[in-house]
Structure 1
Amino acid sequence: MSYNLLKGKRGIIFGALNDQSIAWKVAERAVEEGATITLSNTPMAIRMGEVNALAEKLNCQVIPADATSVEELTEVFKNSVEILGGKIDFVLHSIGMSPNVRKKRTYDDLDYGMLDKTLDISAVSFHKMIQSAKKLDAIAENGSIVALSYVAAQRTFYGYNDMADAKALLESIARSFGYIYGRERSVRVNTISQSPTFTTAGSGVKGMDKLFDFSNRMSPLGNASADECADYCIVMFSDFTRKVTMQNLYHDGGFSSVGMSLRAMATYEKGLDEYMDEDGNIIYG
């Protein structure tokens, strides 16, 4: 159902790869809500993914760009303003990748060259994106910039590895740039901390299936889906959130506020019984 929340607005969606991508869902919802958009991803991702099919479906253009390149990001904003016929009202940063995770390097055995790439692709690209847009004055007054994050920026999750550091940096950039951009141009900058989601990137995290199940059981409302995240992004792009900025907004069914759910406690106690002797002592090894 459409509510015309983005009627007349122009946007850029970074990171759509295939129909599992949250960015893909956001692009579809944005157009459904009345926006005109451009899509951007790396040339390799465009070749390997299905972005061109999405562009054809939504009648929009794809602008290839490496999000770690200031020059290429500058071209994305310049071209988007020209293609869409005016300044940009909203931007989605849905970009993240860890070579260490892909190569199964554990957090206590990181390759630092790969760590540099993780941080550059997953977080510093957000700074480069905003800075490029600001220098061009490409974002309209009261515009909205959103990046997708995860609760591992605040809490330790085994297997999330150096992506946790990247998400922490991503959220810091949103606060720091949100203050500057808000004071100078009334542009708001926020991050959305989404539930574990089976995207192409998310599926690469070690134990993702168990993490998804644990989060779903712990959350009073259950995990938020990619479609539901897209709805939330649309609200953040709309005029209904014009005074929301510099925030990390949890969209996780309540997971981030739960200590131990009743279901999780019962499961824990049941499992613990298997490792106790008749006197109630825990059996180790």
Structure 2
Amino acid sequence: MTHNLLKGKRGIIFGALNEESIAWKVAVKAVEEGASITLSNTAMALRMGTLDQLSKQLNAPVIAADATSVEDLVKVFAESVQLLGGKIDFVLHSIGMSPNVRKHRTYDDLDYNYLQKTLDISAISFHKMLQVAKKQDAIAEYGSVVALTYVAAQRTFFGYNDMADAKSMLESIARSFGYIYGREKNVRINTISQSPTPTTAGKGIKDMDNLMDFANKMSPLGNADAEECANYCVMMFSDFTRKVTMQNLYHDGGFSSMGMSLRAMNQYAKDLAPYEDENGKIIYG
């Protein structure tokens, strides 16, 4: 069921790769709600993924761009305004990648060249995106910019590695730029801290299945899936949230407010239950 929340609005979706991507589902939901959009990802991602399929499905032009390149971002915003027939009403930043994670480098043995790439791709690209948009005056008054983040920006999670640093920077950029863009252009900037989600990028996190199970047991409402995240993004793009800005908004079933849940405690107790080894000796834990 649609509600025409984005009727007549124009948007840019960065980061859709395939049907597992949150950005893919946001794009579908935005068009269902009445928006016209452009899609953007790197040339390599376009070759690896199935974005052409989404483009045809939604009648949404694809603009190849490296989000770490100011020159490419200038092209994305200028072409989007031209193709869509006016200023942009909403933007989604759904971009994140860590070479250190991919190469299985632990946090106490980072490759610093990889770290710079992690920060540039996953966080600094957000600043570049906002700076380019502001200089072009490409975003309409009360436009909405949303970036996807994770609670590892505030808490330590085994295996999340230098992506945690990138997400911390991403959230800081939303606050710092949100003040300037809000004051001068009435543009709102927020981050959505999503439950662990089995996207192509998410699956690269060490023990992702265990992390998802733990989060699901901890969260009173359970994990929020990609479709539900898309619904939340659409609400943030809509006029119903015109005075929400500079916020990190948790969309995680309540996980971020929990200490210990009954389900997690029961699992913990079960794992620590005493048992007999092959010699009849009682083992605890």
TM-score (norm: length of structure 2): 0.96
Corresponding residue of 1:75 = 75
How large is the RMSD of aligned CA atoms in angstroms?
Answer: 1.5
Q: Which amino acid aligns with 1:16?
A: A
CA distances 1:174-216 after superposition (whole Å, capped 9, x unpaired):
0000000000000000000000000000000000000000001
Corresponding residue of 1:250 = 250
Does 2:118 match 1:114?
Answer: no
1:275 Cα deviation from its structure 2 partner: 8.2
1:274 Cα deviation from its structure 2 partner: 3.3
Q: Which amino acid aligns with 2:144?
A: S
CA distances 1:246-277 after superposition (whole Å, capped 9, x unpaired):
0000000000000000111122122223389x
What does residue range 84-123 of structure 1 map to in structure 2 within 5 Å?
84-123=84-123
1:283 Cα deviation from its structure 2 partner: 6.2
Provide the secondary structure at the position in 2 that maps to 1:123: helix
Contact kept, 8 Å, 2:224 with 2:253, in 1: the verdict is: yes
- Runs of 4+ residues over 2 Å off in structure 1: 272-276, 281-284
CA distance in 2, matches of 1:177, 1:275: 56
Q: Which amino acid aligns with 2:201?
A: A
Corresponding residue of 1:194 = 194
Provide the secondary structure at the position in 1 that maps to 2:189: strand
Provide the secondary structure at the position in 2 that maps to 1:216: helix
CA distance in 1, matches of 2:79, 2:2: 28
> Structure 1 pair 275/249, CA: closer, same or farther in 2 (3 Å)?
farther
CA distance in 2, matches of 1:189, 1:81: 19
Does 2:127 match 1:127?
Answer: yes
Corresponding residue of 1:40 = 40
CA distances 1:73-99 after superposition (whole Å, capped 9, x unpaired):
010000000000000000000000000
> Structure 1 pair 275/135, CA: closer, same or farther in 2 (3 Å)?
farther
Provide the secondary structure at the position in 2 that maps to 1:60: coil
Provide the secondary structure at the position in 2 that maps to 1:273: coil
CA distance in 1, matches of 2:212, 2:273: 25
CA distance in 2, matches of 1:172, 1:272: 40
Provide the secondary structure at the position in 1 that maps to 2:64: coil
CA distances 1:115-169 after superposition (whole Å, capped 9, x unpaired):
0000000000000000000000000000000000000000000000000000000
Give 5+ residue unaligned stretches, structure 2: 277-281
Q: Which amino acid aligns with 2:135?
A: K
Provide the secondary structure at the position in 2 that maps to 1:197: coil
Corresponding residue of 1:143 = 143
CA distance in 2, matches of 1:7, 1:283: 61
Corresponding residue of 1:6 = 6
Corresponding residue of 1:167 = 167
Give 5+ residue unaligned stretches, structure 1: none
Provide the secondary structure at the position in 2 that maps to 1:224: coil
Q: Which amino acid aligns with 2:28?
A: E
